[in-house]
């Protein structure tokens, strides 16, 4: 999962925005009213208790406990789907009843949204008894509005990318600065859109340094940031807070070597988070090997943290490419122990540790050899 190039940002980001809720004051359609009139009451008279029931039953049920540790049969799956279809239909009836009976309740608009979602789920799971009711609702105005907003923003982000790319002759920094300015304008026009926060995240990762800190802070202070983007920003912020401090990394490498950064003071150490299946990681290998061969005699060390899941593939690759430094490997892929501890969500990621054992650089890919030589020259 490599970082996106600036020319691909708008096309590659697909974080959905937050759907606005319909107004609770909207009157029910004729089809709604007809169904409600002929349906028995399913909810208690107390609005808060009624909402608690709607909210609880609006959540899809998990797999049956007896499935744990085994593959269910096709008949069991069919029965479970039928159960979910029926349950979603009943839950939809309750959501509909709630917004009809408690029109002025703060959760009325959410109940209206939930009603449509549950109907769609029920019909999608095969409940034909609810098909006519869903069809009577007609197109989802919220979805249409969301799709129109997403299309409009997408087009303008493409324009912003194209405009920024015209500055490529001035270097990537100029491209990113221009793109960020366009995003600032788009944020005012399309407030709270996840696509914009995702693009800010890309710029933060590509620029690094103080600009990265500034953008990460901006994302974390904003409202309506998608959970995935917020989690990434929190991870990066934690990493930034490690700058200038020792890293606690110790493990037994794949070749049996004992690795402990606390015992490597006096050396400049590259922490290389990578994987054999990562194209950009593989592309960096010749540069990393060349820097190691030239600067290892002067005190340069590398510690690899592999996101691979196959030990044989890792061993074959490192042997073939003469990557003679220790590798951490636990076969857990993206969930490997060290990567998880340090919040690594994108590879390649290369960090430099100075001779005092402190983290000094989070973007070591850029101009690696010169950065290493500079740190080697420090006392």
pLDDT, tens digit, 9 for 90 and up, residues 207-234: 877 888 899 999 999 888 888 888 888 8
Which of residues 289 and 232 earns the better pLDDT score?
Answer: 289
Strands 300-306 and 250-252: unpaired
Which of residues 14 and 338 earns the better pLDDT score?
Answer: 338
Read off the pLDDT of each residue in 12-26 and give the average, rounded to a whole number.
Answer: 30
What confidence score (pLDDT) does residue 39 get?
60
Cα 298 to chain centroid distance, Å, stands at 40
| Residue 19 backbone phi and psi in degrees, to 5 | -70, 130
Whether the link from the prior residue into 348 is cis, omega within 30° of 0, is yes
For residue 57, what are its two tokens?
A: 């039953």
What confidence score (pLDDT) does residue 228 get?
83
Cα distance between residue 346 and residue 218, in whole Å: 20
pLDDT at 302 over 90: yes
pLDDT digits (tens, 9 = 90+) for 21-73: 233 333 334 344 334 444 678 899 999 999 999 999 888 777 888 887 677 88
What confidence score (pLDDT) does residue 306 get?
97
Read off the pLDDT of each residue in 267-294 and give the average, rounded to a whole number.
Answer: 96
pLDDT at 192 over 50: yes
What confidence score (pLDDT) does residue 294 get?
96
Helices (H), the chain: 9-12, 30-38, 47-57, 74-101, 108-124, 131-137, 141-165, 172-189, 194-207, 209-221, 227-241, 279-295, 311-320, 337-341, 368-376
Cα distance between residue 322 and residue 91, in whole Å: 61
Q: Where are the domains of the chain?
A: 30-138, 158-241, 250-376
Superfamily for domain range 250-376: Glutaredoxin (3.40.30.10)
pLDDT at 7 over 50: no
Question: Over the chain, what is the mean pLDDT?
Answer: 86
What confidence score (pLDDT) does residue 14 get?
30
Q: Kindly indicate the confidence band of residue 87, based on its pLDDT and cuts at 50, 70 and 90.
A: very high
Residue pair 168/175 in contact by the 8 Å Cβ criterion: yes
Cα 335 to chain centroid distance, Å, stands at 14
pLDDT at 1 over 60: no
pLDDT at 268 over 70: yes
Task: Provide the b/e sequence for 211-232 (b: ≥16 CB within 10 Å).
Answer: bbbebbebbeebeebbeebbeb
What confidence score (pLDDT) does residue 18 get?
24
pLDDT digits (tens, 9 = 90+) for 348-378: 999 999 999 999 998 898 889 999 999 999 9
Strands 359-361 and 349-353: antiparallel
Q: Kindly indicate the confidence band of residue 235, based on its pLDDT and cuts at 50, 70 and 90.
A: confident
User: Which residues are within 8 A (CB) of 94 and not within 5 positions of it... i.e. 6 or more apart?
Assistant: 42, 43, 53, 54, 57
pLDDT at 250 over 50: yes
């Amino acid at each position: 999962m490599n970082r996106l190039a600036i020319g691909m940002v708008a096309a590659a980001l697909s974080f959905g925005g937050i759907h606005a809720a319909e107004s609770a004051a909207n009157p029910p359609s004729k089809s709604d009213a007809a169904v409600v009139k002929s349906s028995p009451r399913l909810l208690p008279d107390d609005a808060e208790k009624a909402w608690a029931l709607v909210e609880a039953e609006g959540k899809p049920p998990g797999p049956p406990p007896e499935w744990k540790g085994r593959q269910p049969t096709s008949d069991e799956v069919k029965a479970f789907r039928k159960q979910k279809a029926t349950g979603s239909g009943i839950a939809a009836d309750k959501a509909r009843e709630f917004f009809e009976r408690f029109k002025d309740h703060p959760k009325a608009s959410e109940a209206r949204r939930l009603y449509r979602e549950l109907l769609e789920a029920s019909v999608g799971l095969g409940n034909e008894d609810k098909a006519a009711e869903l069809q009577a609702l007609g197109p989802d105005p919220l979805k249409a509005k969301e799709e129109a907003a997403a299309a409009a923003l997408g087009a303008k982000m493409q324009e912003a990318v194209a405009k920024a790319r015209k500055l490529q002759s001035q270097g990537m920094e100029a491209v990113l600065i221009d793109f960020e300015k366009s995003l600032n304008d788009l944020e005012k026009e399309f407030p709270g859109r996840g696509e914009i926060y995702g693009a800010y995240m890309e710029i933060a990762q590509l620029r690094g340094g103080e600009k990265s800190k500034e953008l990460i802070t901006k994302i974390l202070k904003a409202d309506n940031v998608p959970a995935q983007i917020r989690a990434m920003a929190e991870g990066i912020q934690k990493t930034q807070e490690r700058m200038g401090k020792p890293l606690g990394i110790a493990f037994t490498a794949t070749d049996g070597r004992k690795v402990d950064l606390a015992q490597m003071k006096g050396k400049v150490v590259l922490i290389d988070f990578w994987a054999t299946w990562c194209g950009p990681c593989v592309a960096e290998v010749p540069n990393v090997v060349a820097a190691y061969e030239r600067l290892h005699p002067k005190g340069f060390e590398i510690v690899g943290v592999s996101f691979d899941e196959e030990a044989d593939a890792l061993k074959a690759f490192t042997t073939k490419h003469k990557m003679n430094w220790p590798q951490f490997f636990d076969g857990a892929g993206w969930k490997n122990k060290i990567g998880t501890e340090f919040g690594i969500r994108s590879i390649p990621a290369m960090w430099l540790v100075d001779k005092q054992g402190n983290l000094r650089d989070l973007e070591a890919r850029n101009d690696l050899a010169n950065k290493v030589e500079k740190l080697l020259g420090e006392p």
